């Protein structure tokens, strides 16, 4: 499968035209709604119910809350969403799941397609008919210069906006900053003190006092990478309101470049990128595609050679980012790489006290004894995200169990207590252990040979790569000799189906999981 960025198509509209869309103006869909068949609508509602059940209400409302059934006929289902970014994200992350759920309801379905609502055309026509002053006022967003936050990027929470022109040049779009993520709200401890010091230095230094470039921060999920990156952006903008600061994720960078190339606008985008003072990229492990990585490497070289600051974060060190091109790895390794570890007891207790103070500011009657917080801090030893979840559980229970006991807390938080830091599993480790278990070579595993002695280990390795790593189907396919995502999906479903009735295979899978986890 192509990534969401690579799959993005728009029916001829440019990126700027898509981004000017007003999400609330979707009235042109009303005329089409009458043509939708009753049975199809019923299926659509059941599919949405399944999505909510599988993914949770928060994920569902973020990505699927504004989906509408456009048409369903002759085996083709078309579902509309209000923005091109939503279509790109759903295509890249959830299209297989939606297709699978729809086919369970209607087995004769051939294709499920996500499209952008045609309200874009009418909105643009309405805008063009307005007086120039009205158009200008309606399109004026909050910007880095005015508000101390980056202009909104296309996301489920913020409308996209274009930064104003400065010195005759257009700034580019970045992802929105969360106002909660600042250095003031960032709890420092032994596990992140060095990284915090480096981050503050970057945010507070003048452009001619570059010390750590590029600064590379890495940590497992939930340990505060995003908080620290956004704090750098917020502090830099607070100190230097005129600075061109861009914070974005690797996936958004990929999508932005893909749409610029599609719209023959790549040169303009590159010129805009030359003008930034501080580039911050999150989730670097998701940067994929040779052409996109080449563009990123050119950008990185250009900014570093011009003494512009670059900050990057990922879930592992640069040397372990298997999907990155050697040139990109080499340049990232040339800077300062710092790890953010899991919080120790003192840091966990400080986090809980900070959260309690915030909650008490909203509800003055809230009172949780310190011994309860101490017990939770000792019990939940994983990531900051797990600690946040434990506190939310505690807050919820306290609302109707104000005299909650420590024994009761252990019962409530049993699923997160002592979870520990999650282990990282690499696809290379899976390939090596599976090949050794089945007495085949890794080269054979990645080859095009289709003999039974090779196909079974290959399918098992693909299945384990899907269930034990966060890698997408397209990336797993690339790591198995450049195979298509459908091959990986077939392997996953095949092994899942066989393990239900083949006890020996199920035992083999469990053994391999233990071997791989022990090696991680």
Query: Any idea which of 232-236, 327-331, 463-467 has the lowest mean pLDDT?
Result: 327-331
Q: Region 487-513: what's the mean pLDDT?
A: 87
Q: How much is the pLDDT for 117?
A: 76
- Please enumerate, by residue number, every residue annotated as part of a binding site for ATP: 222, 224-226
pLDDT value at 252 more than 70: yes
Residues 64 and 98 sit within 8 Å (Cβ to Cβ): no
Q: Is residue 161 part of a domain?
A: no
pLDDT value at residue 460? 93
In this structure, the answer to whether residues 329 and 189 fall within a common structural domain is yes
Question: At 207, which CATH number?
Answer: 3.40.50.300
Q: How many domains does the chain have?
A: 4
**Structure-model confidence comparison of residues 402 and 199, the more confident one:** 199
266 and 364 assigned to the same domain:
no
Q: Report yes or no on 165 lying in a domain.
A: no
Give the model confidence (pLDDT) of 67-90 as tens digits.
899 888 878 898 998 777 678 788
Given a cut of 70, whether residue 140 has pLDDT beyond it is: no
Domain end (from 383, 418, 453): 418
Q: Average the pLDDT over 28-36 and give the result.
A: 41
Both 392 and 280 in one domain: the answer is no
Domain boundary among 88, 116, 144: 116
- Confidence class for position 23, pLDDT limits 50, 70, 90: very low
Residue 435 lies in a domain: yes
The pLDDT value recorded for residue 387 is: 81
Based on the fold, state whether residues 210 and 332 are members of the same structural domain.
yes
β strands within 210-347, DSSP E = 215-218, 245-249, 278-282, 309-314, 336-339
Whether 394 has a pLDDT exceeding 60, the answer reads yes
Which residues are known binding-site members?
Answer: 222, 224-226
Which segment of 110-124, 159-173, 267-281, 410-424 scores lowest on mean pLDDT? 159-173
CA angle 33, 39, 43 (to 5 degrees): 90
134 within domain boundaries: no
Question: SS3 helix, strand, coil % of the chain, rounded to 5?
Answer: 55, 10, 35
Mean pLDDT of 202-231: 81
CATH number at residue 404: 1.10.8
Q: What are the two backbone dihedrals, phi and then psi, of residue 314, each rounded to the nearest 5 degrees?
A: -155, 175
Neighbours of 369 (CB within 10 A): 10
Q: Is residue 323 part of a domain?
A: yes
Tell me what pLDDT residue 423 has.
54
> Do 334 and 188 sit in the same domain of this protein?
yes
Per-residue pLDDT, 232? 92
Residue 30 within any structural domain of the chain:
no
Give the mean model confidence (pLDDT) for residues 442-462.
90
Quote the pTM value: 0.50
Q: Is the pLDDT of residue 36 over 50?
A: no
Whether the CB-CB separation of 318 and 333 falls below 8 Å is answered with yes
Handedness of CA 507, 509, 514, 518 (dihedral sign): positive
Structure token digits, residue 331: 């340049």
- Percent of the chain with pLDDT strictly greater than 90: 8
Q: Does 322 lie in the same domain as 353? A: no
What per-residue confidence (pLDDT) applies to 319? 78
Residue 109 is assigned to a structural domain of this protein:
yes
Find the mean pLDDT for residues 324-344: 84
CATH code, 75: 3.30.300.180
Structural domain including 301 reads 183-339
- pLDDT at residue 133 greater than cutoff 50: no
pLDDT band at 142 (very low <50, low <70, confident <90, very high): very low
CATH number of the domain bearing residue 475: 1.10.1750.10
Task: Report pLDDT for 414.
Answer: 65
pLDDT at 210 over 70: no
- Tens of pLDDT, residues 3-14: 443 333 333 333
Asked which of 240-254, 308-322, 393-407, 448-462 is least confident by mean pLDDT, the reply is: 393-407
Q: Report the pLDDT averaged over residues 374-379.
A: 81
Q: Does residue 341 register a pLDDT over 60?
A: yes
Binning pLDDT at 50, 70 and 90, where does residue 207 land?
A: low
Higher pLDDT, 254 or 136: 254
In order of 193, 251, 308, 451, the CA distances from 210 in angstroms are 20, 27, 8, 56
DSSP character at residue 263: T
Indicate whether 333 and 361 sit together in one domain. no
Shared-domain flag, residues 468 and 503: yes
Please give the Cα distance from 265 to 20 (Å, whole number). Answer: 17
pLDDT at 362 over 50: yes
Same domain, 190 and 330: yes
**513 pLDDT above the threshold of 50:** yes
Is residue 451's pLDDT more than 70?
yes
CB 415 within 8 A of CB 493: no
- Report pLDDT for 404: 74
Do 335 and 193 lie in one domain? The reply is: yes
pLDDT of 156: 33
- SS3 of residue 335 by DSSP: coil
Q: Among 116, 138, 159, where does a domain finish?
A: 116
pLDDT band at 138 (very low <50, low <70, confident <90, very high): very low
Q: Tell me, what's the pLDDT at 22? A: 37
Report the pLDDT value the prediction gives residue 370, as an integer from 0 to 100.
Answer: 83
What's the whole-number mean pLDDT along residues 346-351?
86
How much is the pLDDT for 304? Answer: 82
Using CA atoms, how far apart are residues 354 and 173, in angstroms rounded to an integer? 33
pLDDT attached to residue 259 = 79
- Is residue 131's pLDDT more than 60? no
Decide which of 255 and 182 is more confident.
Answer: 182
Q: What is the DSSP letter of 150?
A: P
Confidence band (pLDDT; 50, 70, 90) for 461?
A: very high
User: Coil, strand or helix: which one is 131?
Assistant: coil
Q: Do residue 203 and residue 236 come from a single domain?
A: yes
In a domain, residue 333? The reply is yes
Quick one: 404 and 479 in the same domain? no
In the predicted model, what is the mean pLDDT of the chain? Answer: 75
């Amino acid at each position: 499968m192509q990534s969401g960025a690579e799959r993005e198509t728009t029916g001829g509209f440019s990126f700027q035209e898509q981004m000017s869309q007003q999400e609330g103006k979707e009235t042109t869909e009303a005329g089409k709604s009458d043509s939708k068949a009753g049975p199809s609508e019923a299926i659509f509602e059941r599919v949405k119910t399944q999505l909510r059940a599988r993914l949770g209400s928060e994920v569902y409302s973020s990505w699927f809350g504004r989906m509408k059934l456009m048409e369903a006929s002759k085996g083709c289902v078309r579902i509309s969403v209000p923005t091109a970014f939503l279509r790109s994200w759903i295509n890249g992350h959830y299209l297989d799941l939606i297709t699978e759920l729809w086919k369970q309801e209607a087995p004769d379905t051939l294709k499920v397609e996500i499209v952008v609502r045609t309200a874009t055309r009418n909105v643009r026509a309405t805008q063009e008919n307005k007086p120039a002053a009205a158009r200008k006022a309606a399109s004026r967003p909050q910007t880095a210069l005015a508000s101390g936050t980056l202009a909104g990027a296309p996301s489920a929470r913020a409308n996209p906006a274009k930064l104003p022109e400065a010195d005759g040049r257009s700034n580019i779009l970045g992802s929105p900053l969360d106002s909660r993520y600042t250095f003031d709200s960032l709890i420092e401890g032994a596990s992140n003190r060095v990284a915090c010091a480096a981050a503050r230095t970057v945010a507070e230094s003048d452009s001619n006092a570059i010390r750590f470039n590029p600064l590379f921060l890495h940590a497992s999920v939930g340990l505060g990478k995003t908080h620290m990156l956004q704090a750098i952006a917020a502090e830099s903008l607070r100190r230097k309101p005129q600075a061109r600061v861009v914070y974005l994720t690797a996936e958004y960078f990929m999508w932005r470049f893909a749409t610029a190339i599609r719209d023959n606008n790549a040169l303009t985008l590159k010129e805009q990128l030359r003008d930034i003072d501080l580039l911050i990229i999150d989730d670097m492990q998701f940067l994929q595609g040779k052409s996109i990585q080449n563009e990123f490497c050119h950008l990185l070289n250009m900014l570093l050679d011009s003494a512009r600051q670059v900050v990057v974060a990922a879930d592992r060190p640069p040397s372990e980012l298997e999907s990155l091109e050697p040139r990109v790895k080499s340049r990232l390794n040339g800077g300062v790489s710092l790890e953010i570890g899991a919080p120790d007891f003192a840091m966990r207790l400080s986090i809980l006290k900070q959260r309690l103070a915030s909650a008490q500011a909203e509800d003055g009657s809230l009172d949780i004894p310190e011994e309860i917080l101490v017990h939770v801090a000792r019990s939940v030893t994983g990531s900051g995200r797990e600690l946040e979840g434990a506190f939310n559980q505690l807050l919820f229970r306290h609302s109707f169990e104000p005299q909650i006991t420590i024994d009761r807390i252990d019962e409530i938080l049993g699923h997160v207590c002592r979870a520990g830091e999650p282990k990282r599993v690499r696809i290379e480790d899976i390939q090596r252990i599976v090949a050794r278990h089945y007495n085949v070579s890794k080269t054979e595993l990645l080859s095009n040979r289709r003999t039974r002695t090779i196909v079974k280990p290959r399918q098992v390795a693909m299945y384990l790569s899907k269930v034990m790593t966060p890698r997408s189907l397209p990336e797993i396919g690339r790591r198995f000799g450049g195979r298509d995502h459908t091959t990986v999906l077939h392997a996953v479903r095949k092994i899942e189906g066989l393990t239900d009735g083949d006890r020996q295979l199920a035992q083999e899978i469990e053994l391999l999981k233990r071997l791989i986890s022990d090696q991680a």
